[in-house]
Structure 1
Amino acid sequence: MEADKPWQPAPENTLLSLQHGINMFDGVEFDIRITADRQLAIHHDRNVSLPKDRLEGRPSWAEQWTLDELTEVGFLGFEDLLEDPIIRNHWAEQGKMGCIEIKRPHPKAPTGGGYFGRRHHIQHVADAMKMAGDLLDAHEVPRENTVFYSFHRHMPQSAKKSGTKRPWAALIPYIPPYGNKTFQRIKAFPTYLATPFGKLVNTHLRQGSSMLPCAIEYFDGPTRSIPLGRHVSLNGKGLKRLTQVRNGMPTYVWPTRPLVEHDLIRAGLTALTDKADPGLLWLPSGHLRWTQPGTRPLDESQWSTLEQATYENHREIHAELMETTPSWEQCDSTRRRLLIEEWKRRWSWSESIDDILVQYDGATPPWSAPRMIGHRGSGKTSRPVLN
């Protein structure tokens, strides 16, 4: 009998990838760009990610293509995503999250604004935020089910100019929309060195951010000791410091490795993951995997059951927890109160239990609850994205 073929993700940021990710996790992350005809396309790279022979005689920058041109070769429009019934059901009705990264064009692109076009850059991001917000409103996606963010120094100004009422945040350290990965890391390093986690939190609070996007380097491996100042971690004294400094601020961490995924969720943080293999139920950390801690939350007794699972019985325990654990939408008032009491105690949330219960009486779990988010849908894939 032929062995089962290993699972392969659909190309990143495509409809199949985003459908799988939003079904498996608490939400998805994806990237939007403004096209030549002033529409929104879902595309990560600044260059159209196609083989060279398919680009021959055509512009390189994604912003030089119309939406129809991009969709004709297989990329996805933002409005097409919103009109998909699977996406709509999860995003608008089941309380799942959409993390929308706004991409700026390369400064040399026709709509790039040059290297020093500060006003242009602010307006470009504001326009993308306004365009996306209008479409989200038209498709009745709840405000608390989205967040906008961008590697953009002037995100507060763009958010104000856009008039958005939806959550937003800047991505810090700032990575410019030009140069290769090595150049970008060199540019980001001084900010990372000078910004310990506590300062990062204060910077976002001062800017008015709704949440804290944060690199995994702050918590995992030797890189957590690089920033000048007090360090945090996912265990021990570093975890206590993390909880105290965060003070309940929603913290989204990328890219999350399976080895630290369990500890990260139990620290009350949201994990952006590239690992969407439905067969991955046993983590290398020795834990049973739970992929919907926000929209299908476990109480502490259930977490104890999960953490006592062994490799031999983890599939049975997973099946039992899936059968007996209601979604946040299905939870009655007693279970919701229990969950919030446990979260408030464990992660030092400052809001009152009654206020949280009133605010989140629908399908969407509390803003500060930890989640699992599928990065670019079902995870980052190889280049070119489409062949």
Structure 2
Amino acid sequence: MKSFYANTMEWKQPPENTHASLVEAMQSMDGVEFDLRLTADDQLVVHHDHEVSIPEQYLDGRPKLVEEWDLADLEKVGFCSFEKLMSDRDWLTPWQEHSKVACLEIKRCLPQIEKDVTRRMSRIMQLASEMVDEAGIHHEAAVFYAFHKPMEKVAKLSGSSRPWSRLLPVVPRTGSHNGKRLRALPQFITHSFNRLLKKQQNSGAPMMPCAVDYFEGFKRFIHLGMPVGLKGRQLKRLQKILGNFPVYVWPGHPYMERDLLEAGLSILTDFADPEMVLPCGSKRWMRPATMPLSNEQWQGLARGIVPEDVAPWHEISDKQLGWKAVRMIGHRGCGKTVRPVIQSI
């Protein structure tokens, strides 16, 4: 998925949620978001869709659903084992030592795999938490979340002490893309940004995942309550509501990137090309938290001046950057890619 915003064809995007994509994003940005599913042999695989995302001719009569495959077979066609990812020093070192973060989305299976997904989701959280704990990942460097109302029960059943949050509004797990969004619309209408944030705070979540719809175009006006935005009075309202509570926005469109960051919002981006020039004409900075710039350097980016010799956070401070640091996060590694994810085997 080469962006039309890019001014170079040198960078090549790896397929989403693959080992290469996740490692590159962890090294080049402030953190990574990715998706976890439980395989037929009780292992963790990084995969977004319900169906194994390969060309149909490569199925060879095998089931379509990820949960019906063993991990080894999924690895053979190019998908990422979470356990193997956690043994890769190129992935682990930035997470352990450089204040990077990971947002682990627990994916729900379809009803034909399991009608009550809560227990299965708790198993995913349990297995992943055990590996994250064993690696010594800081408590403020990993969060679990899902489109699932009983996330508190998921966390309790898992036995994990790791922080969790909810993806709201909750999108149904069955139906077409547009159909699911339509069914989630009543929740969006009844949840202003202010109400959404209070729900997350009251649940004990360390951060709030948030749809860009709350900040973009006419959609920010269709819910009950006062709208927030990235300019003028709506920005002031946003900052008053936020306080210092961290919010992670997806998708972080390139044309909104600077405004989102300057508003104090972390973003999940599908565009990991470091050489991209933003539509506003600004150069990008992929590590606003873990390689922080001065105000003067940020202003220089807008004029096309990329600063050199910027010290990373871990070299200037022993303090762990928590959720409140404004970050650039790689969505599904280096960003969402076309379907099927694995084009050839």
Q: Shorter-chain TM-score category?
A: over 0.9
Per-residue deviation at 1:290? 1.5
Identity percentage of aligned residues: 41
| Structure 1 length-normalised TM | 0.84
Per-residue deviation at 1:287? 2.5
Q: 1:122 aligns with which of 106, 118, 123?
A: 118
Aligned to 1:341: none
Is residue 92–residue 141 contact of structure 1 (8 Å, CA) maintained in 2? yes
Q: 2:313 aligns with which of 318, 328, 331?
A: 328
Per-residue deviation at 1:5? 4.2
1:175 aligns to 2:171 (yes or no): yes
Is residue 287–residue 307 contact of structure 1 (8 Å, CA) maintained in 2? no
Paired with 2:8 and 2:131, the residues of 1 have a C-alpha distance of 41
Aligned to 2:298: 306
Aligned to 2:205: 209
Paired with 2:301 and 2:182, the residues of 1 have a C-alpha distance of 43
Aligned to 1:355: none
Aligned to 2:21: 17
Aligned to 2:154: 158
Aligned to 1:76: 80
- 1:256 is paired with a residue whose SS is coil
**Pairing 1:226-237 to 2, within 5 Å after superposition:** 226-237=222-233
Paired with 2:273 and 2:256, the residues of 1 have a C-alpha distance of 17
Is residue 288–residue 307 contact of structure 1 (8 Å, CA) maintained in 2? no
Structure with bigger helix share is: 1
- Compare CA radii of gyration and give the structure with the larger one: 1
String of CA shifts for 1:299-331, please: whole Å, max 9, x gaps. xxx2234225555xx2xx31xx331x3222122
1:134 aligns to 2:134 (yes or no): no
Say if 1:83 and 1:233 are closer, same or farther in 2 by CA, change over 3 A. same
1:374 aligns to 2:323 (yes or no): no
Aligned pairs, how many? Answer: 337
Paired with 1:201 and 1:278, the residues of 2 have a C-alpha distance of 31
Paired with 2:312 and 2:45, the residues of 1 have a C-alpha distance of 31
Aligned to 2:283: 288
- 2:249 is paired with a residue whose SS is strand
Paired with 1:133 and 1:384, the residues of 2 have a C-alpha distance of 29
1:34 aligns to 2:38 (yes or no): yes
1:365 aligns to 2:321 (yes or no): yes
RMSD, aligned α-carbons: 1.6
Say if 1:232 and 1:58 are closer, same or farther in 2 by CA, change over 3 A. same
1:383 aligns to 2:343 (yes or no): no
Equivalent AA in structure 2 for residue 329 of structure 1: H
Q: 1:271 aligns with which of 267, 273, 276?
A: 267
Is residue 109–residue 117 contact of structure 2 (8 Å, CA) maintained in 1? no
Moved more, 134-143 or 369-378: 134-143
Is residue 274–residue 286 contact of structure 2 (8 Å, CA) maintained in 1? no
Paired with 1:305 and 1:100, the residues of 2 have a C-alpha distance of 32
Paired with 1:272 and 1:241, the residues of 2 have a C-alpha distance of 22
Note the residue ranges of structure 2 that are not aligned, 5 or more in a row: 1-6
- 1:322 is paired with a residue whose SS is coil
Paired with 1:305 and 1:16, the residues of 2 have a C-alpha distance of 30
String of CA shifts for 1:214-261, please: whole Å, max 9, x gaps. 000101222111111111111211111111112211100000111111
Say if 1:104 and 1:241 are closer, same or farther in 2 by CA, change over 3 A. same
String of CA shifts for 1:25-77, please: whole Å, max 9, x gaps. 10111100001011100000000001111113101110011111111111110
Say if 1:82 and 1:309 are closer, same or farther in 2 by CA, change over 3 A. closer
Equivalent AA in structure 1 for residue 321 of structure 2: P
Per-residue deviation at 1:6? 4.7
Equivalent AA in structure 2 for residue 265 of structure 1: L
Aligned to 2:4: none
- 2:251 is paired with a residue whose SS is strand
Say if 1:210 and 1:5 are closer, same or farther in 2 by CA, change over 3 A. closer
Note the residue ranges of structure 1 that are not aligned, 5 or more in a row: 114-119, 333-360
Aligned to 1:335: none
Paired with 2:81 and 2:173, the residues of 1 have a C-alpha distance of 21
Paired with 1:69 and 1:100, the residues of 2 have a C-alpha distance of 23
Paired with 1:4 and 1:244, the residues of 2 have a C-alpha distance of 39
Equivalent AA in structure 1 for residue 39 of structure 2: T
Say if 1:374 and 1:310 are closer, same or farther in 2 by CA, change over 3 A. closer
Per-residue deviation at 1:187? 1.1
